[in-house]
Each structure stands twice: as structure tokens, then as C-alpha cells.
Amino acid sequence: MNSPAAPPIHSFLAQQVRDGASAGQVAALVGSTWEHIQTALAPVIGQRGVAALYKRSLHLAAKAHPWLAAAQGSSPGEDFALLRAESAKRSSAEAATAGGALLLSFHELVGSLIGPSLSGQLLGEVWIKFFSGSSAQDPSP
């Protein structure tokens, strides 16, 4: 089965950094994207299913970015808070690179499980919100 074409996540996050986004702003964007993913997928696969996809994506991305392993909590809400906190401790470029790797791992995982068409139907709005970049412009508390 072919994976859906990878969205330009890395280049978008790199542009956010070039535009002056701080690590905290990048962390807010990536964290809010995970919250949108949870909102989109939980009605279909449940909270535990979303948590399993997050943990697997985190495991895959942590191979290249070991500090991401610290972003695994005991609940999805805690996971996303830990992801924001760990990312905010890094440089904005490092937060963007690791956040991009995490989102791409998820994208590829979901695409391999359900196919590009269904993935696009379920997550299209998530990617639209992500690429709007609104969270990167507003500092996270």
C-alpha cells in the first residue's frame, strides 16, 4: 500500500522559524495540531486509539530526536502538555525539526493503516489548521 504524499510539514515549520517563531510558538503549533488530531480521530478510534498512534509516532520520531521520549505521559492530554514543555526547552529550529518528524511519522503511520483517501477525509481539516500557522503566531501561556 502506498503512503499518502507527505505534506510539506518540515518546510512549513522551517519557514515559521525563519519568520521568527520561538521554540514555544513552534511547540504550541505542534501541540495544538495533536489536539486537533485527537478531536478528529477520537470519535472514530477512541481516545486509546489516538493515544496508541501518538505513542507509536513518538517512538518512531524519537529514534532521530531522543529527547522526544520525555514527551510521553500517562494520558493524551498529559502527552501534549509534555510535548509542548519539552519542545519549548529546545532551540526553535530543533523544536521544528523534531515536531515535523513527529507529525510526519504520524502521517505515514495513519496512511499505511487506513490509506490516503480515508486519511485525507478524516484529517484534512487538521492539516488546513496546521498550515494556517495561527498557533505559531500567538504565544502559548
pLDDT at res. 134: 56
DSSP 58-126: HHHHHTT-GGGGGG--SSHHHHHHHHHHHHHTS-HHHHHHHHHHHHHHHHHHHHHHH-HHHHHHHHHHH
Q: Is position 103 within any domain?
A: yes
User: Which residues make Cβ contacts (< 8 Å) with residue 98, sequence separation at least 6?
Assistant: 61, 64, 65, 67, 68, 87, 90
CA distance 18 to 133: 13
Residue range 119-138: average pLDDT?
79
User: Do the Cβ atoms of 108 and 61 come closer than 8 Å?
Assistant: no
Q: Is position 46 within any domain?
A: yes
Q: Is position 66 within any domain?
A: yes
Q: Is position 141 within any domain?
A: no
| Count of structural domains, the chain | 1
Q: Please give the residue range of the domain that contains residue 39.
A: 9-129
The pTM for the full model equals 0.86
| The three cell numbers locating residue 58 | 513518538
pLDDT at res. 41: 94
Q: Is position 15 within any domain?
A: yes
Q: Is position 134 within any domain?
A: no
**Mind listing the pLDDT tens digit for each residue in 38-75?**
999 999 999 999 999 999 999 999 999 999 998 887 76
User: Do the Cβ atoms of 24 and 136 come closer than 8 Å?
Assistant: no
One-letter amino acid of 28: A
Q: Is position 1 within any domain?
A: no
| The three cell numbers locating residue 104 | 510526519
| The three cell numbers locating residue 6 | 507527505
**Mind listing the pLDDT tens digit for each residue in 18-32?**
999 999 999 999 999
Residue 36, H or E segment: helix 23-62
Is the pLDDT higher at 131 or at 73? 131
**Mind listing the pLDDT tens digit for each residue in 76-124?**
668 888 999 999 999 999 999 999 999 999 999 999 999 888 998 999 9
User: Do the Cβ atoms of 53 and 109 come closer than 8 Å?
Assistant: yes
pLDDT at res. 137: 44
Q: Is position 111 within any domain?
A: yes
